[in-house]
Structure 1
Amino acid sequence: MSKPDYPVTPAVRFLRAHGIAFEPHLYAYEERGGTAHSAACLGVDEHSVVKTIVLQNDKKQGLIVLMHGDKQISTRNLARQLGMKHIEPAAPQQAAKWTGYLVGGTSPFGTKMPLPVFVERSIRDLEIIYINGGKRGFLVAVAPAALDSLNPQDVEVAV
């Protein structure tokens, strides 16, 4: 078996172990380029690029929210929907500790610690999504149904 021409990350191992079909996409990572840069490199709509955001609640417990690349998360609405007092972004070091990934390369698949996953409901309406494959400059194209392997809860918190 020949070596794949893309990184074999914990996310890739997770996708393979769960029998989830994916198409790897490498691009030139740019610090602070975000989803606008990755979408431009791949020639796809930024709305279909899904970012993985690691947050923490008032009890310092981690959670992941999957959001369209061209949208932001209303942490106030998220806290309200989840019955929590406060939700804020996790510090990059804490996010890396929970997920095993560097910021800019965070995938919801194959995280070091199991974290609850919340997905913006409208992501499920897309035909295909481009989501981080576990390394900066590496996205995988999957059907939105692939997210079901994470047992996510749907939310509506996009702004």
Structure 2
Amino acid sequence: MTLILKGNLMNRYEQRLRTYLEEQHIQAEHLSFDQPCHSVAEAARAVNASPEELVKNICLLDGDGQLTTAIVKGEDRVSVSRIAKALQKDGLRLATPEEILEKTGYPCGGTPSFGYPAMFLIDPKVMERELVFTGGGSETSLVKIRTTELVRANQGTLLRIRQ
């Protein structure tokens, strides 16, 4: 694992994720930047990549407060209704930024594809790429990871979840 530090020290969210990567022996590269990576466009610019090389982690909550993280390619959108139907869950909705921080331990815009208790769903289109960039724990960091390692890290289920 390689670490690229930005001007100041890593924030606590990035440090938590970096520790998790090390402890779980996840083969990935943690990247920190001086610029925001909150949106797909910003993240693509930061790593000089195309949106197809990024994944988005969309956090959803069901009526019981159970977290599901839907992982889609950067250019795709999640279909909440498709997920709700597949999981037979009523009341599935997007989590608020406050709920995302509470449930994952990471802020919205930096949420990684693993490292917290959730059901992880991965759209099959994600697996068309060998490597992807995902949230790195903060709005100014990313993780570069092989898609096979991503599945190993989150024990995710492959399911068509894009619109």
TM-score range (shorter-chain normalised) is 0.7 to 0.9
Q: Residues 134 and 110 of structure 1: is their aligned pair in 2 closer, same or farther, counting only changes over 3 Å? A: same
1:22 Cα shift?
A: 1.8
Contact 1:117-1:152 within 8 A present in 2 as well: yes
Q: Return the alpha-carbon distance in structure 2 between the equivalents of residues 56 and 44 of structure 1.
A: 31
1:91 Cα shift?
A: 1.4
Secondary structure of the residue aligned to 2:122 is strand
Q: Give ranges in structure 2 of 5+ residues lacking alignment.
A: none
The one-letter amino acid of 1:134's match is G
Q: Give ranges in structure 1 of 5+ residues lacking alignment.
A: none
1:81 Cα shift?
A: 1.1
Corresponding residue number in structure 1 for 2:112: 107
Q: Return the alpha-carbon distance in structure 1 between the equivalents of residues 91 and 127 of structure 2.
A: 26
The one-letter amino acid of 2:105's match is G
**TM-score under structure 2 length normalisation:** 0.84
Q: CA RMSD in A?
A: 1.7
2:104 counterpart of 1:90: no
Q: Residues 150 and 25 of structure 1: is their aligned pair in 2 closer, same or farther, counting only changes over 3 Å? A: same
Secondary structure of the residue aligned to 1:85 is coil
**TM-score under structure 1 length normalisation:** 0.86
1:101 Cα shift?
A: 0.9
2:27 counterpart of 1:38: no
2:133 counterpart of 1:130: yes
Q: 2:71 aligns with which of 66, 75, 79?
A: 66
Q: Return the alpha-carbon distance in structure 2 between the equivalents of residues 5 and 143 of structure 1.
A: 18
1:154 Cα shift?
A: 1.1
Q: Residues 60 and 24 of structure 1: is their aligned pair in 2 closer, same or farther, counting only changes over 3 Å? A: closer
Secondary structure of the residue aligned to 1:47 is helix
The one-letter amino acid of 1:133's match is G
Percent identity between the two aligned chains = 20
Secondary structure of the residue aligned to 2:137 is strand
2:80 counterpart of 1:80: no
Q: Residues 155 and 106 of structure 1: is their aligned pair in 2 closer, same or farther, counting only changes over 3 Å? A: same
The one-letter amino acid of 1:128's match is L
1:39 Cα shift?
A: 0.6
Q: Return the alpha-carbon distance in structure 2 between the equivalents of residues 61 and 144 of structure 1.
A: 25
Q: Residues 109 and 9 of structure 1: is their aligned pair in 2 closer, same or farther, counting only changes over 3 Å? A: farther
The one-letter amino acid of 1:154's match is L
2:157 counterpart of 1:153: yes
Aligned residue pairs, count: 152
Q: 1:18 aligns with which of 13, 24, 35?
A: 24
Contact 1:58-1:87 within 8 A present in 2 as well: yes
